[in-house]
């Protein structure tokens, strides 16, 4: 039985469409940062990788 989870990662091609879709489900953008550099490339196993990390949270939930 799942008692708690911390986060879920979803990779999308169209960030704006994804934010609009999740907005319909009650989520709002909390933070957005670009992740890049040698440490991230090494971790992901992809040279020169760059990713936009967007944190969504449920609106009106504390």
pTM of structure: 0.71
Q: How many CB atoms lie within 10 A of CB 28?
A: 12
Alpha helix ranges (H) inside the chain: 15-24, 38-44
Map out the domains of the chain as residue ranges.
Answer: 15-58
What digits encode the pLDDT tens for the residues 13-22?
Answer: 999 999 999 9
pLDDT of residue 62: 61
Longest dimension (CA), the chain: 39
pLDDT of residue 24: 96
Residue 22 · residue 10 · CB < 8 Å: no
pLDDT of residue 8: 87
What digits encode the pLDDT tens for the residues 18-55?
Answer: 999 999 999 999 999 999 999 999 999 999 999 999 99
């Amino acid at each position: 039985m799942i008692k708690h989870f911390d986060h879920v990662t979803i990779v999308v091609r169209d960030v704006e469409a994804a934010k609009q879709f999740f907005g319909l489900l009650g989520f709002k953008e909390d933070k957005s940062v670009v992740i890049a550099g040698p440490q991230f490339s090494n971790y992901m196993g992809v040279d020169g990788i760059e990713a936009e990390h967007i944190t969504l949270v449920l609106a009106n939930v504390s």
